[in-house]
């Protein structure tokens, strides 16, 4: 059954700026897929963020700032990782320690990889099977091969590099093997290494990738035109300031300007006009001309142009505000002062926190879940899973299980408010000692510390009971002695005086 829909009502996938086809007749029982293989020009975006791309020398510098601010807020404080299992064993503790060390040691490389993903649209990390180390690969060297039936399934990553003149290296990573080909001149050597973990040891960090896209997009791709305008305004403003910063000599009110120029000229030069005639114009060498003669009612002075820098500044501010809106990074994050008429940091912070949290979820990828029967896919979850499987090849103490990632809080907590909440709950007998101590985050092991504190309370209570018993015993002993000795003798001296 065919149903005809108006062309203007047809939904179009996220293929802005890319070639697409629409059909007036839509078959509701036919499933069509549209795979987008468009790959960002990584060299262009790399030159842009460093201010080396022509036409974006100044405006393009904002790209690197946006990428670094985003990467710093999302991943700069690190990430905690541990096995997502309730099993308590020495193997689990050992593996958790390895995961913490892994994310601590390689944090700088992960931060660089993520920043490249934001700036270029794509970045890649390889987990080396020999020693479980990480290698970062430029995205322009990578070719992605997908399943011919299901484009969402990557079956191989091909990496072509030229480490030295006359040397070509091709690496093809699949779930079954690593196929390495080295070409030196006319000599070709091929090596095949089995893949012992059953997963492709390459992690693709694709930024802002749509559902039908294979490659990612640079974070600032939508700001390219704005960067060009920003660059153009700055360059023209700077050129105007340089050109107009020196006053211009001006003859005013003269009846014969040509005669005045001739009278004050130091030399003449000839030129050919558009009609082909030779003309002579007079040149005044101001460094040699000490006196200017002006005839009639004329006058001579120096004049500067009308100020235009304020207009340029206002235009740059408008462009910068558009940049803030599109990048979703508030002005205070850039380090700029916030005027009283603008929203405060407290008002802008919640929206920015949600933005960073969303970016963290995108960077993390999908976690593994044994109950749902899914494996880790994409992002940091995939990286941690592949690394742990590779480490387990040479370390029998490693425990394989789903992994849980936790990012530190984005903003500092109001400690005074938290203390009041904990005090209230504890006084109302709503919290146990160990839970209360854990909420205060004062010790590493709240349960053990609370147990020790309880033991100390019992000990202090027992000692108090002993001291009280000893005091009562002494008091009773003194009373007994006084009773045995009888009443004190009467004082005769006092009786005689009376």
Per residue in 264-285, pLDDT tens?
777 888 888 888 888 887 787 7
pLDDT per position as a tens digit, 106-161: 999 999 999 999 999 999 999 999 999 999 999 999 999 999 888 889 999 999 99
As a three-state string, the secondary structure of the chain is CEEECCHHHCCCCCCCCCCCCCCCEEECCCCCCCCECCCCCHHHHHHHHCCCCCCCCCCCHHHHHHHHHHHHHHHCCCCEEEECCCCCCHHHHHHHHHHHHHHHHCHHHHHHHHHHHHHHCEEEEEECCCCCCEEEECHHHEEEEECCCCCCCEEEEEEEEEEECCEEEEEEECCCEEEEEEEECCEEEEEEEECCCCCCCEEEEECCCCCCECCCCCCCHHHHHHHHHHHHHHHHHHHHHHHHCCCEEEEECCCCHHHHHHHHCCEEEEEECCCCCEEEEEECCCCCCCCCCCCCCCEEEEECCCCCHHHHHHHHHHHHHHHHHHHCCCHHHHCCCCCCCCCCHHHHHHHHHHHHHHHHHHHHCECCECCCCECCECHHHHHHHHHHHHHHCCCCCCCCCCEEEECCCCCCCCHHHHHHHHHHHHHCCCCCHHHHHHHHCCCCCHHHHHHHHHHHHHHHHHHHHHHHHHHHHHHHHHHHHHHHHCCCCCCHHHHHHC
Q: What pLDDT sits at residue 309?
A: 67
pLDDT band at residue 413 under the 50/70/90 scheme: low
Q: What percent of the chain clears pLDDT 90, i.e. is strictly above it?
A: 43
Tell me the pLDDT of the chain averaged across its residues: 81
Q: What pLDDT sits at residue 151?
A: 86
Mean pLDDT score, 161-182: 93
Mean pLDDT score, 428-438: 71
The whole model's pTM is what? Answer: 0.69
């Amino acid at each position: 059954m065919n149903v005809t829909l108006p062309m203007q009502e047809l939904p179009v996938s996220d293929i802005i700026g890319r070639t697409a086809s629409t059909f007036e007749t839509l078959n509701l029982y036919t499933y069509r897929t549209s795979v987008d293989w468009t790959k960002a020009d990584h060299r262009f975006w790399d030159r842009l963020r460093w201010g080396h791309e022509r036409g974006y020398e100044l405006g393009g510098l904002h790209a690197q700032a946006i990428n670094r601010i985003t990467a710093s807020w999302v991943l700069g404080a690190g990430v905690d990782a541990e096995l997502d299992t309730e099993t308590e064993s020495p193997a689990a503790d050992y593996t958790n320690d390895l995961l913490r060390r892994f994310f601590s040691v390689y944090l700088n490389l992960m931060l660089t990889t993520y920043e490249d993903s934001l700036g270029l649209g794509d970045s890649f990390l390889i987990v080396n099977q020999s020693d479980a180390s990480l290698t970062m690969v430029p995205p322009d060297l990578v070719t992605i091969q997908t399943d011919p039936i299901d484009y969402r399934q990557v079956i191989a990553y091909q990496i072509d590099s030229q480490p030295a003149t006359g040397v070509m290296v091709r690496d093809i990573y699949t779930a079954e093997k690593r196929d390495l080909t080295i070409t030196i001149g006319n000599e070709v050597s091929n090596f095949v290494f089995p893949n012992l973990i059953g997963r492709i040891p390459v992690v693709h960090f694709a930024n802002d990738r749509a559902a039908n896209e294979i490659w990612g997009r640079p974070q600032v791709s939508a700001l390219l035109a704005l960067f060009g305008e920003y660059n153009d305004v700055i360059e023209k403003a700077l050129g105007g300031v340089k050109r107009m910063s020196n006053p211009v000599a001006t003859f005013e009110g003269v009846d014969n300007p040509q005669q005045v120029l001739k009278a004050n000229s130091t030399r003449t030069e000839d030129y050919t006009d558009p009609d082909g005639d030779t003309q002579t114009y007079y040149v005044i060498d101001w460094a040699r001309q000490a006196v200017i003669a002006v005839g009639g009612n004329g006058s001579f002075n120096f004049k500067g142009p009308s100020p235009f820098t304020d207009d340029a500044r206002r235009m740059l501010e408008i462009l910068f505000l558009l940049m803030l809106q599109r990048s979703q990074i508030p002005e205070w994050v850039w380090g700029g002062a916030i005027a009283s008429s603008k929203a405060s940091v407290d008002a802008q912070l919640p929206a920015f926190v949600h933005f960073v949290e969303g970016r963290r979820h995108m960077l993390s990828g999908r976690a593994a879940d044994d109950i749902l029967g899914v494996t880790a896919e994409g992002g940091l979850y995939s990286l941690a899973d592949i690394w742990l499987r590779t480490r387990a090849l040479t370390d029998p103490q490693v425990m394989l299980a789903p992994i849980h990632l936790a990012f530190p809080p984005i903003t500092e907590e109001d400690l005074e408010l938290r203390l009041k909440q904990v005090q209230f709950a504890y006084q109302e007998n709503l919290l146990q000692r160990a839970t209360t101590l854990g909420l205060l985050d004062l010790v590493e092991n709240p349960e053990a510390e609370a147990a020790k504190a309880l033991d100390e309370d019992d000990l202090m209570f027992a000692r108090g009971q002993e001291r009280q018993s000893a005091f009562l015993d002494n008091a009773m002993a003194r009373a007994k002695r006084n009773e045995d000795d009888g009443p004190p003798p009467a004082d005769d001296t006092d009786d005689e005086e009376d």
